[in-house]
């Protein structure tokens, strides 16, 4: 058989993991690429209304593209994970980075890792990267992450509240066991007056691993000021990608570009860690 006639490799499929933290269930899945993957596991941290299922086919495509194991989980209050009692404190992003993320990774048996965080997940990744002192952390990919709270961010979250009351709730209910817990935990907390002062400058300054930051030029929840804040406070030089004609979800709206950027980033990490 000629190489061109060889059957195509099967795309990675999700394998569910049964995780428990303090007796509470955490929804989690892992995607294994063909062959024997080596190097860091890619850990996906979802957005403020996200879950394992809301990554759709991105984890499988990412595993196939990079040849790396991909792990994703739903934070408490999201997806099929156990609920998180309301109201959530304004420190909920910091709390998860400081108290839960490392425990989830340990429970899943994740060794060397690269965190890929989208939106709220990007903020959690930045906080963890700057504070945890994790020797197993090899890099950070921050997609449409929030480092500060802008007026456009609050406007977008208020608009989401209107959408939730006029159809968004039904669409999100397919992805969350308790959709009201997920939505109000996120939306209500961001709209609390004290949340507007969030500033991750201190955490950014503590990051010592390579950073790839991706944002859409038409992001409805943030402007290039987010990237400027990252550049200003990060002590190393990040790879910055501003994608034209793309909004808050580059991994969906410009998936091929994002997959290529992460793949190149993973190669860079491998080369620098030899």
Chain-centre distance of CA 96, in angstroms?
13
Give the dihedral sign, CA 186/143/221/219.
Answer: negative
Residue 216 near residue 246 (C-beta atoms within 8 A): yes
What is the signed CA dihedral for 133, 198, 252, 114, rounded to 10 degrees?
A: 0
pLDDT for the residue 88: 97
For the chain, strand residue ranges (E) read 14-21, 24-31, 41-45, 70-73, 113-118, 137-143, 211-216, 239-243
Core vs surface per residue 127-164: b (16+ CB within 10 A) or e: bbbbebebeebbbbbbbbbbbbbbeebeebbeebbeeb
Whether residue 184 contacts residue 161, with contact meaning beta carbons closer than 8 Å, is answered with no
| Contacting residues for 263 by C-beta, under 8 A, at least 6 apart | 65, 66
Write down the pLDDT at residue 37: 78
* Closest alpha carbon to 266 in 258, 97, 193, 108: 258
Q: Strand 70-73 relative to strand 211-216: parallel, antiparallel, unpaired? A: unpaired
Question: 45 near 128, Cβ under 8 Å?
Answer: no
The Cβ of residue 229 has, within 10 Å, a number of other Cβ atoms equal to 19
Residues present in the chain in total: 274
> Which pLDDT value is given to residue 5?
47
Asked if residue 176 lies in contact with residue 78, where contact means CB atoms within 8 angstroms, the answer is yes
Give, in degrees to the nearest 5, the angle at Cα 100 between 208 and 83. Answer: 140
pTM of the model: 0.95
pLDDT of residue 274: 64
Q: Which residues pair with 139 in a beta bridge?
A: 114
Domains of the chain, each with CATH number or no CATH? 8-272 (3.40.50.1820)
Q: Check residue 7 and give its pLDDT.
A: 47
Q: Digits of tens for pLDDT over the chain (274 positions)?
A: 334 444 455 678 889 998 999 999 999 999 999 887 789 999 999 999 999 999 999 999 999 999 999 999 999 999 999 999 999 999 999 999 999 999 999 999 999 999 999 999 999 999 999 999 999 999 999 999 999 999 999 999 999 999 999 999 999 999 999 999 999 999 999 999 889 999 999 999 999 999 999 999 999 999 999 999 999 999 999 999 999 999 999 999 999 999 999 999 999 999 987 6
* Cα-based distances in Å from 213 to 40, 98, 161, 172, 239: 18, 22, 27, 27, 6
Distance CA 156, CA 254 (A): 21
27 to each of 20, 24, 234, 259, how far by Cα in Å?
A: 9, 10, 33, 24
pLDDT at 11: 78
């Amino acid at each position: 058989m000629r190489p061109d006639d060889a059957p195509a490799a099967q795309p990675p499929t999700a394998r569910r993991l049964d995780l428990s933290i303090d007796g509470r269930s955490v929804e989690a899945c892992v995607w294994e690429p063909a062959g024997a993957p080596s190097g860091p596991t890619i850990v996906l941290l979802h957005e403020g209304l996200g879950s394992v299922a809301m990554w759709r086919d991105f984890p499988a495509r990412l595993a196939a593209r990079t040849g790396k194991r991909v792990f994703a989980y739903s934070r408490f209050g999201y997806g099929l994970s156990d609920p998180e009692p309301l109201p959530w404190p304004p420190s909920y992003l910091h709390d998860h980075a400081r108290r839960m993320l490392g425990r989830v990774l340990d429970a899943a048996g994740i060794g060397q890792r690269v965190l890929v965080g989208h939106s709220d997940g990007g903020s959690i990744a930045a906080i963890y990267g700057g504070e945890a002192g994790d020797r197993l952390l090899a890099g950070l990919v921050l997609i449409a992450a929030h480092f500060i709270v802008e007026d456009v961010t609050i406007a977008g979250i208020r608009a989401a509240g209107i959408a939730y009351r006029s159809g968004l709730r039904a669409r999100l209910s397919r992805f969350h066991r308790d959709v009201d817990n997920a939505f109000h935990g996120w939306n209500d907390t961001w709209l609390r007056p004290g949340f507007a002062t969030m500033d991750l400058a201190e955490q950014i300054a503590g990051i010592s691993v390579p950073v790839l930051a991706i944002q859409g030029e038409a992001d409805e929840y943030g402007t290039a000021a987010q990237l400027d804040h990252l550049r200003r406070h990060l002590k190393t030089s990040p790879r910055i990608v501003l994608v034209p004609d793309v909004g808050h979800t580059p991994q969906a709206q410009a998936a091929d570009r994002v997959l290529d950027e992460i793949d190149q980033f993973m190669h860079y990490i491998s080369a620098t860690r030899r």
